[in-house]
Structure 1
Amino acid sequence: MSLPEYITLNGTNYATAKLPEEARTQVQNIQVVDAEIGRLQQQLAIAQTARNAYSAAVVNAIKVPASESAAPEKKARKPRKPKAE
């Protein structure tokens, strides 16, 4: 991973080319950790989206029970009585 030209730490910009080797190693560690934080934030966003979808499904199921959401079954009618003549 290549180092950025500058890094900002605690509001101060540093030219990475002028940093001692130990500091450049730590900058690389910061880059690795920042990449992992980004990956974890993406995973969190995916999990939150899934949770929201599951919550919406629960609310929908409460509002419209499954037995009512299907087409209602027709009740069998009693046969008609023949007309008296």
Structure 2
Amino acid sequence: MEQQLEVTVNGVSYPVAELSAEAQAQVTNLQFVEGEITRLNAQLAVYITARIAYENALREALPRSFQ
């Protein structure tokens, strides 16, 4: 049995296959944007981790009298 893709808006679920072409296009747009947000959040996590590592490396590189 195939599970039908649904989208929920304002608490109401709609089978995507039964939506108009315009509504289906908006679902596709939302899926794309959600994927990009997920990708960017992962990228941001990498940058934050790198920043922490660089800050720690800077602390280690500073003369002890300034710490």
Q: Tell me which interval the TM-score lies in, with the shorter structure as reference length.
A: 0.7 to 0.9
How far apart in 2 are the matches of 1:10 and 1:56?
46
How far apart in 1 are the matches of 2:5 and 2:21?
15
By percentage of residues, which structure has more helix? Answer: 2
Amino acid of the structure 2 residue aligned with 1:40: L
Amino acid of the structure 2 residue aligned with 1:30: L
Structure 1 residue 53: deviation in Å? 0.3
Q: Percent of pairs identical after alignment?
A: 44
Could you tell me which runs of 5 or more consecutive residues in structure 2 were left unpaired when the two chains were aligned.
Answer: none
Structure 1 residue 48: deviation in Å? 0.4
Bigger shift: residues 8-17 or 25-34: 8-17
How far apart in 2 are the matches of 1:31 and 1:5?
12
How far apart in 1 are the matches of 2:59 and 2:12?
49
Q: Note if 1:41 corresponds to 2:37.
A: no
- Name the TM-score, length of structure 2 as normaliser: 0.74
The structure having more radius of gyration, on CA atoms, is 1
Q: Which residue of 1 aligns with 2:28?
A: 28
Could you tell me which runs of 5 or more consecutive residues in structure 1 were left unpaired when the two chains were aligned.
Answer: 66-85
Superposed CA offset, 1:40-69 (max 9, x none): 11110110010010111122233758xxxx
- Aligned residues between the structures: 62
**What RMSD over aligned residues (CA atoms) do the two structures have, in Å?**
2.1
- Name the TM-score, length of structure 1 as normaliser: 0.61
